[in-house]
Structure 1
Amino acid sequence: MRFNYEELCNIDSPEWHDEDEYTVIGGDDEHVPQLRLPRHVKRDTVPSDSIGVLDSGLAELMNELDLGSKIPGPSRLKPGIWRKRTKSLSKSESKPFNPTPARHSYEPEMFLNLRESLAKSILMKLETLERDNAERVQEVKNEKERIRMEQQRIEEEQKRKAEEQARIRREEAEKLRQRAEMERKQQLEEQKRKEAERKRLEEERRKQEAAEKELKAQEEAKKVFGLTNFSKVEDFFKHYKHRIKAIKSEIVEPVKKDTSLKSILSKHKRKINPKFGQLTNSEQHLATIFSELSSLVDETKANQLGYQWILNFIAKALVSQAETEVRVKPESALPLGKLALNLLARYPELLDFLMARFVKKCPLVIGFTCNINSEEGRYKMGWKRAQNDTWEEETSYDERMGGITTLFSVITRLPLPLEIISSQAHPLPIVHSWQMLARIANTHTDLLTNTHFVVLGSWWDAAAAQFVQAYGNQARKLMSLLTNDLTNAVAERKYVGAARLRILSEDYETSGTLKSFPEMNA
């Protein structure tokens, strides 16, 4: 087979385009020649004597081409691949290069191996290039990812610092706000304290003025009448007795006739009545009961008749509680009295009903006294009939009068709640205690009974300490008149109540202090 380099490189020849006959080696790179090698030798066209024979000139040219140097990469075709054949030829033929084609022996497998080597080298280089390119791309991606992560880290760090600074600013602002709020609260508390102190001083001043006014009134009364004007006291008594009758005819009876209203009020009555017996020595519990009672009373305001009926029922319940519980446990009058005072402050109409009940059950609270030698006299003074239609025992009567007086006295000496002390007057101020004591002190000795001294002793336990605070030296004079002059006036009667009253006075003179009921817990 014969062919030269120009034939191998002549890619434009039409006969080279048959891909079944030739293999293309090389690419489009201008530095790498593109070679086409025959796939097989056509035995019918190639003379038998030319098989395996390579023209010496072509062999020399192919050796000088150094095709391996034209292939990029580390795998290059080693020079001399053609020289091995030509060297042997040159030794046997010592004549110079003859351009005339010569016949040499040639093995077709060498070109096949050359083709495979070139193909493998190129493929290896392409794989190397692709791998290097992939590594470079991966490096670029890694670098971009690193830059992105670094940028993200920087942004997060900046965001964290910004959030931290914002948090610090918020905390500082919150501290400033809390400090300002605390200062504001302290200012408000200081203002409230000053206001409460001012109101307390104002109340004390008002009480002092009221006491002085009462003293002047008493002195004027003594000048005009010599003693208490009992005719006026009796007018008060009659007024409240008539009020009791009016309540029955104008409120109680109409409600009985209105079955619908009666049913509603009966339900309220069943809810209200137990509340008075649930009182304890706790201020918080007292506030709860007061709130519950207020809600029940407010529900009846839409109906004026029902509203008055409920207030009358509450007045009866308060006095009844004094008759039953306070008579055996005097200190229980404190929570009961506070509840009564709160109700009086919230519902001013209650005072008329409560005073009517107080006077009906114990007229001594207004200083009224009459002879009890007759049934009418006993009825007026609040005596009760027993089941066998006889009068109740004197001891039972005295205990009931003492319980009612204790509640009345506690209400007079209790201050109004701070939130309303400046907006309204006390419904039953301590001047009522002064009136009761002064009228009993001026009562004719023929009308005095043990009950009068029991009532005075109950008042002493409930309100003496606050009475002295309100009236000072004048109070001490009146108390001395009651415990000394009045008890001496009936000394021969051996009243137990009078003896106890003297003991209370002696304890006060000895110790210099007046005992009072223990204050309620928070």
Structure 2
Amino acid sequence: MQSLPVDPNDFVLQPRHPGHGPGTNDAAQLPSVFIYLLNIFSKAVINQFINEGGAKPETADPIGVVVAGIYSEPDFAWRGASLIDIFIAKYRVACPVLFGHRGSEKTEQGRRSLGWKRDGGGWMGEQQHMDRMTGLGAGFAAVALRNFGKSKKQNPYPPSHYWTALARIVNTPAAEISNTQCVVLKAMIQNYEKKFLEAYGDAAVAALRLALVEFPARTPEKSAAINSLQVLAQLLRRDKGLVLE
């Protein structure tokens, strides 16, 4: 299909230069319809995480496999790297707390910072928002904790991004911790602790202790979202034998 060519540098975080050798797509421009299709694919995936992962977080994992498969495909790469930046840019808008944004759920600006969506003339309900964040937290883990150790393809979004996102949340000052952060954090960890441990070993155990024991313990106000982190720590001990306390 013929379409106007565009400069992919307009859609990636860091500018890329030619010279990655034979077998890579080094062209200065790509068909705009290709960029558009990656954009539509990314939107569909995020909506799938929200609509299915919110109710059943475990359904996010096979969707993450599809994302990793598409964005690791060499034919879909450009100048030696994936175009997953298109997907991540949309994720940053949908779930800002993964990228270091904070805010109070009691203020208009705070809700905007946390990715709380409007429904008609007002904000969507709290439960709907939390379900949305659950799906997005699980979806992020499903994409960022893929193991490419036995694959010839390049991992488009390595586990270091998961580590960074988790660190951004747990390093939040106590007075600024939000329920949204806690819901996203729990969804990132539940069902993915094994993949996290495989990626980081003992360092992951220390990170999980910080996230599920120390982080909720220093919050000034206790809520269901905060308590759910401590409950998850207890479940991991009972069901997985992982002692964090």
Q: Do they fold alike, i.e. is TM over 0.5?
A: yes
1:336 aligns with 2:63: yes
Q: State whether structure 2 residue 128 is matched by structure 1 residue 400.
A: no
Residue in 1 that maps onto 2:25: none
**Contact 1:401–1:451 (CA under 8 A) maintained in structure 2:** yes
Cα deviation, residue 466, structure 1: 1.3
What one-letter code is carried by the residue in structure 2 that aligns with 1:370?
G
Following the alignment from structure 1 to structure 2, what is the Cα–Cα distance between the partners of residues 433 and 323? 19
Using the TM superposition, give the Cα deviation of residue 435 of structure 1 relative to its aligned residue in structure 2, in angstroms: 0.9
Q: Is the 8 A contact 1:441 1:486 kept in 2?
A: yes
Cα distance change of structure 1 residues 370 and 478 upon mapping to structure 2, 3 Å threshold? same
Q: Could you list the per-position Cα deviations for residues 130-184 of structure 1 after superposition, in whole angstroms to 9, with x for gaps in the alignment?
A: xxxxxxxxxxxxxxxxxxxxxxxxxxxxxxxxxxxxxxxxxxxxxxxxxxxxxxx
Return the match for 2:236 from 508, 517, 522: 508
Q: Which residues of 2 match residues 241-280 of structure 1 at below 5 A?
A: none
TM-superposed CA distance for 1:372, in Å, is 4.8
Regions of 4+ moved over 6 Å: none
CA offsets 1:317-365 (integer angstroms, 9 cap, x no match):
1101111111112121121111111011112354011001110000122
Q: Partners in 1 of 2:32 and 2:152 — Cα distance?
A: 31
The alignment yields a C-alpha RMSD, in angstroms, of 2.2
The code of the aligned residue for 1:354 comes to: F
2:96 alignment partner, one of 345, 360, 363: 363
Q: Which runs of 5+ in 1 are unaligned?
A: 1-245, 248-301, 515-522
Match of 2:62, as an amino acid? P
Which residue of the partner structure matches residue 116 of structure 2?
383
Residue in 2 aligned with 1:178?
none
Superposed displacement of residue 392, structure 1: 1.1
Write the distance in 2 (CA, Å) between the matches of 1:504 and 1:489: 17
Equivalent in the alignment of 1:104: none
The one-letter amino acid of 2:130's match is D
Q: Using the alignment, how far apart are the partners of 1:328 and 1:371 within structure 2? A: 25
1:2-35 CA distances to partner (integer Å, 9 max, x unpaired)? xxxxxxxxxxxxxxxxxxxxxxxxxxxxxxxxxx
Q: Distance in 2 between matches of 1:303 and 1:482?
A: 42
Looking at structure 2, the residues matched to 303 and 403 of structure 1 have their Cα atoms a distance apart, in angstroms, of: 32
Q: Does 2:55 match 1:321?
A: no
Q: Is the CA contact (8 Å cut-off) linking 1:413 and 1:429 kept in structure 2?
A: yes
Instruction: Give the structure-2-normalised TM-score.
Output: 0.78
Aligned to 2:84: 351
Structure 2: distance between partners of 1:317 and 1:513: 37
Is the CA contact (8 Å cut-off) linking 1:312 and 1:350 kept in structure 2? no
TM-superposed deviation, 1:373: 4.9
Select the structure with the greater relative contact order (CA < 8 A; seq sep ≥ 6): 2
Percent of aligned positions with the same letter in both sequences?
A: 27
1:476 aligns with 2:184: no
CA distance in structure 2 between the aligned counterparts of 1:443 and 1:303, rounded to whole angstroms: 40
The amino acid across from 1:414 in the alignment is R
- CA offset at residue 368 of structure 1? 2.7
The residue number in structure 1 matching 2:35 is 308
TM-score (norm 1): 0.38
For the pair 1:452 / 2:181, whether they are aligned, the reply is yes
After TM superposition, give the deviation of residue 507 of structure 1 in Å.
2.5
- AA of the residue aligned to 2:87: L
Check 1:399–1:511 CA distance in 2 against 1; reply closer, same or farther (3 A cut): closer
- For 1:306 and 1:487, how far apart are their aligned partners in 2? 46
Correspondence 1:66-77 to 2 at 5 A: none
Counterparts in 2 of 1:506 and 1:303: CA distance versus 1, 3 Å: closer
Task: Give the Å deviation of 1:417.
Answer: 8.2
Q: Distance in 2 between matches of 1:451 and 1:435?
A: 17
CA distance in 1, matches of 2:70, 2:241: 32
8 Å contact from structure 2 (residues 144, 162) kept in 1? yes
The residue aligned with 2:162 is 433
**Does the CA-based 8 Å contact 2:39-2:87 persist in structure 1?**
yes
CA distance in 1, matches of 2:63, 2:239: 29
Count of residue pairs the alignment pairs up: 210
Post-superposition offset of 1:374: 4.3
2:227 matched residue in structure 1: 499
Q: Secondary structure at the match of 1:493?
A: coil
Radius of gyration: which is bigger? 1
Q: 1:409 to 1:423 in 2, by over 3 A?
A: closer
Distance 1:417 1:307 in 2: 29
Distance in 2 of aligned mates of 1:423 and 1:458: 27
For 2:225, the aligned partner's letter is G
Structure 1 position 511, deviation (Å): 4.6
Q: Using the alignment, how far apart are the partners of 1:445 and 1:503 within structure 2? A: 19
Report what 2:147 is aligned to. 415
CA distance in 2, matches of 1:503, 1:372: 23
Give deviations 1:175-230, integer Å, cap 9, x for gaps. xxxxxxxxxxxxxxxxxxxxxxxxxxxxxxxxxxxxxxxxxxxxxxxxxxxxxxxx
